[in-house]
Structures are given as C-alpha cells and as structure tokens.
Structure 1
C-alpha cells in the first residue's frame, strides 16, 4: 500500500491510500479517516461508506463533513472508490455503467466479470486490509448514497453477522424496477431476473432472516425520486415482512451532498450506538 494524501482534520487525519486489489485485478484507492483515538493505538470501529454513480473516494471525504462526527464518536470511516479503474478495465460511454458504476455486485457476464467484483471487494478484501493495516476493530457498520445506498442495504442484509448497523441516503431500493439498475444488472448479471434478486433490497426483505434495522433518509425534492429511487417500495416491503425501518422523508432536499452533509451527523449517531 501507499499513502497518497494526508490532511489533519478534527484532531485526526483524513488519508487516501492506493493498493493492488487481487479481487478486482487493478489498483484501487480508498479514503480513510483516522480519529485521534486510532492515532493513539486504540482499535476503533469502522463505518464503510459506499458512494454513488460517477463518484470516486473523494466525493464523500471532501463534501459530507463526516470527520467531525467520526472524531466525536471515535469511529474510523473508510470510503472506497465505486468501481475498478485502469486502462485494462472495460468501460461504457454512459455514466451509469462501467467505471464509476460498479453497483456493488460480482459481475458474471463478459467483458465485466474479470474486474467488476465490487461485492467481494467491499465485503471481504477491503475489511481484511483495513483491519490488518490500521488500528481497526472488527466492529463494522455500513452506509452509502444512491447506488451506494443500494449497496449498503443489500450487503448488510446478506451479511448481517458482519455489520452491526446500516443506513442509506437516497438509495436505489429496487434496482430491478429502476432504469439505472435494469441497465447495470443486465450488463453485469445477465438477463435472468432471478439472479438480480440477491442485489435488490426490496426483494431481499421478503426472504432475509436478518432484522437489522434500516435507517433511510430521502429528500422529497430529489430529481430521481419517482423514476429511480422509489422509497415507497421499500416501505411496503418492510411493512409486509415486519422488518424494522426508519424512513425519513426530508422536505425540499435533493440528491446532492448538501442533503448528505445536513443529516450525516444523525447517521453517525445511529451507527455509534450500535458500534459501542
């Protein structure tokens, strides 16, 4: 690994590292915030943040303002890139497929299958790396925005033993019923919609044995609310399955990081309670 950025922030450090990923077959970057407690050798719990379409590791660490809350609670925050990168990695002209659009699945279709294995990267490789190289405990939480909100919800429901809490901002709750998800899943997973269900929060709610409470914030002024995000589908699925859900509809807020920065403190409070 090589550290390529380091900035003092709220008595801790915001860093960016790069490393060779075996899972993805390319060089990857991730942001990591180390609070003061971690700098003094105390093993701290970790919140994994998954960003949305077109993002890199930079968007969350520079725009969300989460460091002050992570410092207060003594939480490490890890923010990986959203897809494999490099000259050998296939891409698509559209912003919603290929680089910047990994969708946190393991692709089974060509030409994507070799590199696009973001599910395994987030669930297995990245936590192993973080817990071996930094003062990080195995107490984990996961959160994300939009495509990353989809990733956080589905990964947490499929791996409840690995995460103590989960939350999401503006998640794509039913990618099988949204244009972004339909395009990505067809390319990465093929046309068999049964295979899609393992990466669809609304579908997983009906079958998961997990009862990990879901915290979701959604702005009512979000330009993608009706076409892509459809939080009412998650609410209905949770009601039908008696699955715990706190869905906060925030009047006037859009899809941007202004929304995330406004409520990220509440999400860090939520995770801190579970990570104690």
Structure 2
C-alpha cells in the first residue's frame, strides 16, 4: 500500500481541506486527489461521499466550486474527490477534450494504448477506498455521486457494486453512453468494438437488467446544452420504472450543465446521502 504525501491543506468550516499525492499501483502512475475531513473526524471515524467529476475536470473543480464543505461539516461527512483520469508524461493521451487525460470515463480499458493506465473503475472501487480507510479517519460507510461523466461513473459503480455503497446520486449524468457520441467515442477507444463490453458500463442498461436495492437521486437541468444528444435521462428513468427501482429523477427548470447547477442542489444531495450513511 502506497503512502499518502500531503500536497496542501487549508482549514475549512472547522475541518480540513487537504490534497494528497500517492503512487497508484492500479493506474501505474502518481495520482492526486482532494479530501474534506469534517471537524468530527478529529474525534473518530466518519462516513464518506465519493464525488466523481466530469470531462476536463480534476480533483480541484468540485472542491473549489461546489460549496459542499459547509453542509458536509454540519453532517459529519468526509468528501473524497478523485481525479478524472490517470496523469503524467508516460500516460496515453489524445488531443480531444473527451478522450485521454481528464476523460477516463471510470472504466477499465482493455485496448492499446489505454489499458496500461486507464483503470479508473478499479481505482475508485477498490484501491482508493482501501488506501484512505487505512490511513485516514474514515469508516467503511460510503456513498457516491458525480457530475456528467462522473455521474455516469457513480451510477455504474453503485449499480454494479451495491454492497459497497449506501446510496447514489448524480447531476446531469451521461445516462446511456452506448447511445451517445461521448460514450461511443470513449468506449470504442477504451473497450474496443465489441458493444457487449460497453453494456457493463451503461447505467440505463444495468438498471433495466439488474435493478438496484440502492436509493438513487438524479438532478438534470432542462436548459442543459447536452441534454438531448449526450445525457438521455429519460432512458434512465424508463429503466428505473422497468426495474421498480427507488429512483427519483428531478428535472430542474432553467438550469444548465455548469457548477452553478451543482452548487444550487449539492446541499440536498448531501442531506439525501446523510440519511443512509448515518443509519
């Protein structure tokens, strides 16, 4: 198990906003991530919400733009904010914003040149929680959430591993990636031409086929420029109805795809998760 190296730290709402670096065995590169530890973590272990960010983002976007720390401090919930992909000179990349570094799509790549490093699914599911729960005051109670590409990742990880999480939520997730340009491009590159491999990373297909015992909350702005072509929340809703899932999909009038949207509703998502993390 790699050691955590402290990169920076600030006091925030009585807790600690920290950034760490470590050598990832799963991703075969050094990784940075951010953590908010609420004041309660000074007295004992606290539950955690894992936040997965979207295309072009790093661990810093949510930490600096969402305004989540105030409510997390009140509720006694840690915020775990990973990067969105492996990084470094030796890591394969692409000139486009929607493939390569900053666009890991939370899958385990099988294709050259991506397979060496792009295993974000295993990193989020296993390596990072194991590392953090051994070295920080975190319990084994975890919820997961995310935005856009990260909303896709959060839903897929929770639907495939319901015993690992208490609850899942998402903002404007890429809900049916096998049928949208972002997903088709990334899955072809990372997973190859066999579309049956893609289906294991599609939240709408997973929910329709497997159902879910977890509570799911999804917020989607109806003024989102990516709504019709890329996000397809109605497909997720239909899958949830088919599976009789505990899914609440809320269409939010006038909201777009930005962090202003996330900041407007993040308190409701944190309180939603707190009800299950603290049971």
TM superposition score normalised by structure 2: 0.98
2:36 maps to what in 1?
33
1:46 maps to what in 2?
48
Instruction: Verify: 1:7 aligned to 2:3, yes or no.
Output: no
Q: Following superposition of structure 1 onto structure 2, how do residues 240-259 of structure 1 map, counting pairs within 5 Å?
A: 240-259=242-261
Give the 3-state SS of the residue equivalent to 1:161 in structure 2: helix
1:73 maps to what in 2?
75
Structure 1 runs (4+) greater than 4 angstroms displaced = none
How many Å apart are 1:154 and its aligned residue? Answer: 0.5
Instruction: Verify: 1:18 aligned to 2:47, yes or no.
Output: no
Q: 1:62-85 CA distances to partner (integer Å, 9 max, x unpaired)?
A: 000000011010001000000000
Paired with 2:236 and 2:104, the residues of 1 have a C-alpha distance of: 22
8 A Cα contact 2:210 2:243, kept in partner: no
Give the 3-state SS of the residue equivalent to 1:252 in structure 2: coil
Q: 1:216-254 CA distances to partner (integer Å, 9 max, x unpaired)?
A: 000011010011001111111111121121011000000
1:99 maps to what in 2?
101
Q: 1:197-220 CA distances to partner (integer Å, 9 max, x unpaired)?
A: 110001101222532121000001
Q: Following superposition of structure 1 onto structure 2, how do residues 165-184 of structure 1 map, counting pairs within 5 Å?
A: 165-184=167-186
Give the 3-state SS of the residue equivalent to 1:143 in structure 2: strand
Instruction: Identify the match of residue 56 of structure 1 among 52, 55, 58.
Output: 58
2:134 maps to what in 1?
132
Instruction: Verify: 1:212 aligned to 2:214, yes or no.
Output: yes
> Aligned Cα RMSD in Å?
0.7
1:148 maps to what in 2?
150
| Unpaired stretches in structure 1, ≥5 consecutive residues | none
Give the count of matched residue pairs: 275
Q: 1:126-180 CA distances to partner (integer Å, 9 max, x unpaired)?
A: 0001100100000000000000000000100000000001000000000001100
Q: 1:98-147 CA distances to partner (integer Å, 9 max, x unpaired)?
A: 00000000000000001000000000000001100100000000000000
8 A Cα contact 2:166 2:277, kept in partner: yes
TM superposition score normalised by structure 1: 0.99
8 A Cα contact 2:211 2:243, kept in partner: no
Paired with 1:128 and 1:185, the residues of 2 have a C-alpha distance of: 27
1:85 maps to what in 2?
87
Paired with 2:252 and 2:209, the residues of 1 have a C-alpha distance of: 29
| Unpaired stretches in structure 2, ≥5 consecutive residues | none
Instruction: Identify the match of residue 238 of structure 1 among 240, 251, 255.
Output: 240
Paired with 1:63 and 1:238, the residues of 2 have a C-alpha distance of: 30
